[in-house]
Amino acid sequence: MVKFYNRIEHKLVETKSFSQDALIKVVNPSSDEIHMLSSLLNFDPDFIADSLDEDERARIEVDEDTILLILKVPMRNEEDEKIPYKTVSLGIIIGKNFILLSMKQNIDFIEKMIETSLLNPHKKSKMIFQIFFKNAKLFLDYLKEINKTIDLIEEELHKSMKNNELETLMYLEKSLVYFTTSLRSNEIMMEKLLKGKILELYEDDEDLLEDTLIENRQAIEVTNIYSNILSGMMDAYASVISNNLNIVMKVLTVVTILLQVPTILTSFYGMNVKLPFQQNPLTYINIIISSIIIMIMTYLWFKGKKWL
């Protein structure tokens, strides 16, 4: 899918064809659409192909008058329920008279920025840094959601004897690995933009990029903290689950031993031989009373040993 936008009277308006200083949004394009755009705008078609690869790292590539920026963007993972978050690639292709945004699937915050006309293709560097800033904020928002999920799981783990919560923590940790890798590659790419002369930067642009780098570094630190917390929780609560299971097994063992007392006594009087007091009509009641007394004494002995 290919859409063209132009800024008319301070609003971003969709147009039917390409015009000067256009913003172009490309979502999961066909090979014909890639060929059409690369021929029309005179850039390497691999620029779009690379930006559609989810495993592509954040980087900068310059080819004559065209610049490719690949930014890693966090998203909820709707394809795999086990791993709640993933990162995808957003390609930003910058030419003399256009900016092209290439992505495998629609990215929500890009859609909102287009709808609210926050993107201005006439001010290329400012527009790009606004995207970077929103993306860094999005990482922090998702990290807050992960923290809430960790708190909920922590409450469940205290009474859990199953592995479900540990598996959830493991998949959250995998999401955090994606975040860490993506945030670090984004940071390297942005630092190159700040230090190099790849884009023409104005004073306001530099301030915005520096603010974005601060947000990005904060996201890296928070991600590392949560990763360490998850690792510690998984180790600690693996022991908690094992201990909970041991407690249950101990209780069941004691109950089994207590139930053996009446079983043994009644087994003796079930033998087909002469037994003491077998003619006494109260023998049955005596066996029951004796069983109860021995069970109570055994229970108190376990209690005294602090086995219960």
Task: Quote the CA–CA distance of 263 and 171 in Å, as a whole number.
Answer: 49
Residue for token digits 């840094």? 129
Residue 159 pLDDT exceeds 70: no
3-class secondary-structure state, position 254: helix
pLDDT of the residue at 163: 64
Q: What confidence score (pLDDT) does residue 147 get?
A: 87
- Provide, rounded to the nearest whole percent, the portion of the chain with pLDDT above 70: 93
Nearest to 202 by CA among 127, 306, 278: 127
What is the per-residue pLDDT across 169-201, written as a single tens digit (0 to 9) for each?
Answer: 788 888 888 899 999 999 988 888 877 677 777
Q: Report whether pLDDT(306) > 60.
A: yes
- Please report the pLDDT score of residue 21 as a whole number: 80
Q: Calculate mean pLDDT across residues 47-65.
A: 86
**What integer pLDDT is reported at residue 45 of this predicted model?**
87
For the ranges 43-57, 182-196, 260-274, the lowest mean pLDDT is seen at 260-274
Nearest residue to 104 via CA among 84, 85, 90, 119 = 90
Q: What percent of the chain has pLDDT over 90?
A: 12
Region 109-125 average pLDDT: 84
Which residue blocks in 52-199 are alpha helix, DSSP H?
A: 108-115, 124-157, 164-195
Say what the pLDDT of residue 308 is: 65
pLDDT at 270 over 60: yes
Q: How far apart are CA 81 and CA 44, in angstroms?
A: 36
pLDDT tens profile 133-148: 999 999 999 999 888 8
- Average of per-residue pLDDT across 104-117: 87
When the pLDDT of each residue in the chain is averaged and rounded to a whole number, the result is 83
Using the predicted structure, report yes or no on whether residue 157 has a pLDDT greater than 70: no
Annotate 235-273 with b (16+ C-beta within 10 A) or e (fewer).
eebeebbeebeeeeeeeeebeeebeebbeebeeeeeeee
